[in-house]
Structure 1
């Protein structure tokens, strides 16, 4: 049997020679060479510092393979090549090596000039690596420098093209550099200039050591590669290709699928060009792959690269039955079905993006503030799934999606490799939508651990938690500090509350940049109101113009509590005051996460949010009253109440092993899982009513107030629509309970 893979390695010198001879060719499905000039520079840095640059994936070529994949020479190669290997993964790195070391007379893509690459030997030997590697454009000045070795020696400029020249050019250059500074040292010694002698002598030593380093890198630095056998079938090559994970610019599975669809008469790249404007809000180069992933998730529940291969029209997929037997199925029958599935996926992504960017849905008003781009395929597929459910089930399904989404954001769930997470979440969420008891464990755990979030350390824009908090501020309806209105969201950005300039002097560790000290506001407000001043300077001005109550209300819409507001006004404002401010804002934001996300008050109007919180404040003292009246005796609680509560507790304990089971065997623990009706049934039971009669006086009145309270709670929690009578009666019940319980 032929070897499918032949792992090997090649020295830098040998690789450059093979590139020079045109032995590598690029298949048509590869993307164009698109590295920026600094990307090439950074690769040179990695090579000269002896870093691993990833493995290449090659396919030993033959005429049929070269023709089938429409292979072309590497960018910049001009001449008659000797093609041997098709580059499946590594084109960007190989082309960068070719361009830097062989200096072809061609401009970089999208540039108006040729780039040249150099090493500053003086900085390299001083280990100032970030400044040692450079590039510049081939101007007349640089043409003179490249044609004058002595100017190179004088300024310690080593052109990387010397390495690719071959023959004796490299050793001659190194020898010439060392001799140049030996002569400088001799001249300085003759003239008695000790300072110049010391500098020249150091350069001689640097030249010797740099020469040794060059020899080691060019002769001993190894680039690893895997070469596939030339007779390997193309479908096996595709499967191997999708599983190779290198550190270079990774080949896109989209390009491979496009190449395989070409013979079937389907122009996938044109389909992507047509779809791209509909999805341009999100700044990512992987959106075309996301469309394929959504197609795959909706068809087969999986979206890793090897599964995308089965989206090809007519491609058979082997499926295992529960009994172990196997059969083959075709996911996409023909071109027309592929186009239909593609259009459905594009529409799903477009709708999902609109929902995510909506300021009253998920608050990602700018692409920069989307917590994860990689969550899009799962989110879009779930939205598409929910849209085909019966209308009566969609409200609950969307509620569960919101819980999953925010738990994912604040748990950094989509920060790494996500294909397997995407597939698992889609399958798990579908099951949870169908059955309440199947809530994913990480969603349940987030509801119990969110208070452990440390928002102080969220100082970098773009992280999921940082962006998630910014989204919540948008959802909260954060109002403009200068105009008091909710500003146009395309005009919002996050700015410091306590200015960064003050923090640079008074706050350590970059803490001034924490999300706890940032909030969405317009550039105009930042420029005209804050102006780099402390809050105790700009807040009094706002108060004089608009009144303290108005300014406090505006800042509360930014999760700045009355206590935090007072801290900001302190004079003088000290580092201790800053610490007190962010501590209070941490508490306020965590409370907001609980109220808006965990307790599902996000979709409620501010008035209904307050009512829902007020109902909760009635429940807490009722539990305390029951615990006191029953002296912690579980036997006094009605059996049907305990049965309902134990079912809820059992589900909770199964989902979260960290919960203290012993605590929930006590009445105090079980009371945490009592609903309004369980509280009512317990208080009005025959066994316990005598203990409560002195508090509530009349059982019929108490039951009526519970009914009004429950009617309001159910209206808030389920229909999201509360009529005026229900609201008024509910408010009256809240007042009645508060007055009675105060006694």
Structure 2
């Protein structure tokens, strides 16, 4: 029998050379190259971490075969080439390698720009593998960087295109990188900068180790392939290809861990079958992997497949300590410990799901309205972590988790590299729970970006923002339009306010389906109240039966303001009225996001939310008084307080490089970093009190009112329970300050 199949392997270096020479071609029946930028990045990560990337199926070609299958060059190849192999299986992987290593002058499919791929050597050396591999569009900055090796050395950026440039380019680059840091170390020593010299020396050591790793990968990393004989008939080859693509079953990390645990006497699939009914609320095929990820996050803070492997009982994990010392650690000692951790992770996920679906906690009343399934592992791990912190700190910790969760939802944080994001967020949130000053950057990012959300374009249930808005409507306590009560949440769905049938005839671009025109309603209300009628027909019926104040109050629980309510009643109601309605509702929802989430009032009862808003207005009014009394001169601030505020502004600048220090010079901007007690210190201090005396009259009275206001404010802002005395005294202080601030400013020289 003819030897039709020849299993073999090829080194990475040789494969790159063959890609450069154009030896691989793609038959016409293959699908187009369709990998996204991050898919290529993930393949590079697998290669450089010495992971198996699967086998290739190649057919040794002839001119007849090339013509018969209408073969084309690999995506991005521009040379004349010397075709040798037809790629039957592995086109996406080969093309991805060609794109990353050869850097062709062509954008990725469905992208406007070329992309470059690189390794952060410093992160690679620290074994931060989830963050070490990067990509970016070819901007002017990158064009300059790719032409400047010293800049690459200084930033520890290794462009993968170096590997495709030629046989001598890689060793020359690595030698140059190591020498660069040796020279830097010598220069620092000569200048007497011991710390800089030590850091440069460490970079030099990392450069040498990275060079050795690259040499090993290029020469020893093997890609397996099967080569079909050139004399096979085309019909047989096509049949082989069809069989591979119709019967191939993807092996995920759960299957792999299960296979590795079987010899140890632990049937992981049995554990999963027992756990599955407890977690079935969430519709995902990845829940079994999520359990392993929660285990991994809680044990080692990371959850990518590489780290899941270290959960195997008795498996040694290499660890590099901050001082550079390398050692090995066993994370899970035995089968019993694995079972215990598995059970704890299942319980953590079950609790997390319960919290997320609760209509007064996070509002994801149905799996269909869960903004992200992929956020579950880190959310569950954080909930489990909070259970272990001291009881008196758990309220504040939960408030911070809520803030992180909603920030993640509305900036689409979990739409990309989920595993590395989960690890980073878990570590950042642990630090913030321990230290108020360690607020993660995404909190400020959320606060600065939420008003730019395009809610008009959120027309499809399932997206993070769409579902997040629906969840907020549930949390708002959106009441039933017929009965006026909060309905049973299992019966709610996102129904149209202005009917879809009218929109199909009058509104272009699918805007009628925007979340701005949807709200939680029962099927019964949708059928019996709205049906196919416009609001100017069904709302008057409700008003006639229940009174306008009652109907308006109910619609306000759906983020429909008085102005939006009036717009819905317009008769006739046309496309311009619909535009006015959704514009007003977007404004109302954005204000609700700021009020509930940015300012953290979602944790407060409704009546205390109003009090908290009043306190905020008083604080703003008092800051305005300070600006006026000091004539905008920041130099008049007490020195100790000025220094404290400088430190706060400095911390903000470190967290957000986009901020400009110059914008904080005016007094009104500096006052944004004052708390209530700081304002009190300015107003009642001996040096500045005369500037405020005419308006506030008695310093002792002012001090007492500040104390009452601060006690209530701090209880609200730090999620502490508010007793009756604190509430009433605080409300009295609110009323006193409101009255004083509303009076006309006294004329200079007049008595109070």
**TM-score, scaled to structure 2:** 0.68
Structure 1 residues 295 and 550 mapped into 2: Cα distance closer, same or farther (>3 Å)? Answer: same
Number of residue pairs matched by the alignment = 545
Aligned partner of residue 317 in structure 1, secondary structure: strand
Deviation at 1:658, TM superposition (A): 2.4
Aligned partner of residue 493 in structure 2, secondary structure: strand
Aligned residue in 2 for 1:413: 413
Aligned partner of residue 328 in structure 1, secondary structure: strand
Aligned residue in 2 for 1:224: 90
Aligned residue in 2 for 1:438: 438
Q: Where do residues 314-713 of structure 1 align in structure 2 (5 Å cutoff)?
A: 314-713=314-713
Aligned partner of residue 718 in structure 2, secondary structure: helix
Structure 1 residues 563 and 47 mapped into 2: Cα distance closer, same or farther (>3 Å)? Answer: farther
Q: Deviations over 1:380-435 (max 9, x none)?
A: 11111111111122222212211211111111111123111111111121122222
Aligned residue in 2 for 1:126: none
Deviation at 1:237, TM superposition (A): 12
Q: Deviations over 1:32-88 (max 9, x none)?
A: xxxxxxxxxxxxxx984743589xxxxxxxxxxxxxxxxxxxxxxxxxxxxxxxx99
Deviation at 1:715, TM superposition (A): 2.1
Task: Determine if the alignment matches structure 1 residue 723 to structure 2 residue 723.
Answer: yes
Structure 1 residues 216 and 50 mapped into 2: Cα distance closer, same or farther (>3 Å)? Answer: farther
Deviation at 1:292, TM superposition (A): 0.7
Aligned partner of residue 414 in structure 2, secondary structure: coil
Distance in 2 (alpha carbons) for counterparts of 1:221 and 1:650:
57
Contact 1:294 1:378 in 2 (8 A): yes
Aligned residue in 1 for 2:293: 293
Aligned residue in 2 for 1:122: none
Q: Deviations over 1:453-496 (max 9, x none)?
A: 22111111101011111111111111111111111111111111
Distance in 2 (alpha carbons) for counterparts of 1:503 and 1:548:
26
Aligned partner of residue 520 in structure 2, secondary structure: strand
Structure 1 residues 90 and 514 mapped into 2: Cα distance closer, same or farther (>3 Å)? Answer: farther
Deviation at 1:371, TM superposition (A): 0.5
Contact 1:636 1:687 in 2 (8 A): no
Structure 1 residues 585 and 4 mapped into 2: Cα distance closer, same or farther (>3 Å)? Answer: same
Deviation at 1:330, TM superposition (A): 1.6
Distance in 1 (alpha carbons) for counterparts of 2:732 and 2:428:
42
Distance in 2 (alpha carbons) for counterparts of 1:489 and 1:661:
49
Deviation at 1:635, TM superposition (A): 2.5
Aligned partner of residue 682 in structure 1, secondary structure: helix
Distance in 1 (alpha carbons) for counterparts of 2:488 and 2:539:
23
Structure 1 residues 530 and 220 mapped into 2: Cα distance closer, same or farther (>3 Å)? Answer: same
Distance in 1 (alpha carbons) for counterparts of 2:253 and 2:376:
17
Contact 2:11 2:223 in 1 (8 A): no
Aligned residue in 1 for 2:156: none
Distance in 1 (alpha carbons) for counterparts of 2:315 and 2:647:
48
Q: Deviations over 1:590-644 (max 9, x none)?
A: 1111111111111100000000001111111221121112111113222233233
Aligned residue in 1 for 2:32: 51
Q: Where do residues 191-202 of structure 1 align in structure 2 (5 Å cutoff)?
A: none
Deviation at 1:239, TM superposition (A): 13
Deviation at 1:523, TM superposition (A): 0.8
CA RMSD across the alignment: 3.2
Distance in 2 (alpha carbons) for counterparts of 1:603 and 1:693:
37
Aligned residue in 2 for 1:24: none
Aligned partner of residue 462 in structure 1, secondary structure: coil
Q: Where do residues 205-224 of structure 1 align in structure 2 (5 Å cutoff)?
A: 216=70, 222-224=88-90
Q: Deviations over 1:179-208 (max 9, x none)?
A: xxxxxxxxxxxxxxxxxxxxxxxxxxxxxx
Distance in 2 (alpha carbons) for counterparts of 1:53 and 1:621:
57
Deviation at 1:213, TM superposition (A): 11
Deviation at 1:533, TM superposition (A): 1.2
Deviation at 1:690, TM superposition (A): 2.4
Contact 1:632 1:668 in 2 (8 A): yes
Structure having the higher Rg: 1
Deviation at 1:294, TM superposition (A): 0.9
Contact 1:604 1:720 in 2 (8 A): no
Deviation at 1:223, TM superposition (A): 2.5
Contact 1:239 1:306 in 2 (8 A): no
**TM-score, scaled to structure 1:** 0.69
Contact 1:88 1:251 in 2 (8 A): no
Contact 1:50 1:221 in 2 (8 A): no
Distance in 2 (alpha carbons) for counterparts of 1:731 and 1:217:
79
Aligned residue in 1 for 2:273: 273
Distance in 1 (alpha carbons) for counterparts of 2:288 and 2:223:
20
Unaligned stretches of 5+ residues in structure 1: 9-45, 55-86, 94-211, 228-235, 241-245
Structure 1 residues 677 and 323 mapped into 2: Cα distance closer, same or farther (>3 Å)? Answer: closer
Deviation at 1:736, TM superposition (A): 1.7
Distance in 2 (alpha carbons) for counterparts of 1:53 and 1:412:
23
Aligned residue in 2 for 1:37: none
Contact 1:621 1:741 in 2 (8 A): yes
Distance in 2 (alpha carbons) for counterparts of 1:250 and 1:700:
74
Distance in 2 (alpha carbons) for counterparts of 1:435 and 1:708:
27
Distance in 2 (alpha carbons) for counterparts of 1:516 and 1:585:
6
Deviates more, 1:477-486 or 1:711-720: 711-720
Distance in 1 (alpha carbons) for counterparts of 2:289 and 2:343:
14
Distance in 2 (alpha carbons) for counterparts of 1:253 and 1:237:
22
Contact 1:296 1:311 in 2 (8 A): yes
Distance in 2 (alpha carbons) for counterparts of 1:413 and 1:3:
40
Deviation at 1:336, TM superposition (A): 0.9
Aligned partner of residue 389 in structure 1, secondary structure: coil
Structure 1 residues 524 and 429 mapped into 2: Cα distance closer, same or farther (>3 Å)? Answer: same
Aligned partner of residue 483 in structure 1, secondary structure: coil
Deviation at 1:325, TM superposition (A): 3.0
Deviation at 1:313, TM superposition (A): 1.4
Deviation at 1:729, TM superposition (A): 2.0
Aligned partner of residue 355 in structure 2, secondary structure: helix
Structure 1 residues 564 and 317 mapped into 2: Cα distance closer, same or farther (>3 Å)? Answer: same
Distance in 2 (alpha carbons) for counterparts of 1:551 and 1:492:
19
Aligned partner of residue 662 in structure 1, secondary structure: helix
Distance in 1 (alpha carbons) for counterparts of 2:316 and 2:660:
51
Distance in 2 (alpha carbons) for counterparts of 1:570 and 1:471:
29
Aligned partner of residue 612 in structure 2, secondary structure: helix
Deviation at 1:738, TM superposition (A): 1.6
Structure 1 residues 503 and 380 mapped into 2: Cα distance closer, same or farther (>3 Å)? Answer: same
Distance in 2 (alpha carbons) for counterparts of 1:452 and 1:370:
22
Aligned partner of residue 400 in structure 1, secondary structure: helix
Q: Deviations over 1:532-551 (max 9, x none)?
A: 21111111111111111111
Distance in 1 (alpha carbons) for counterparts of 2:288 and 2:615:
48
Structure 1 residues 727 and 325 mapped into 2: Cα distance closer, same or farther (>3 Å)? Answer: closer
Structure 1 residues 216 and 238 mapped into 2: Cα distance closer, same or farther (>3 Å)? Answer: closer
Distance in 1 (alpha carbons) for counterparts of 2:31 and 2:9:
30
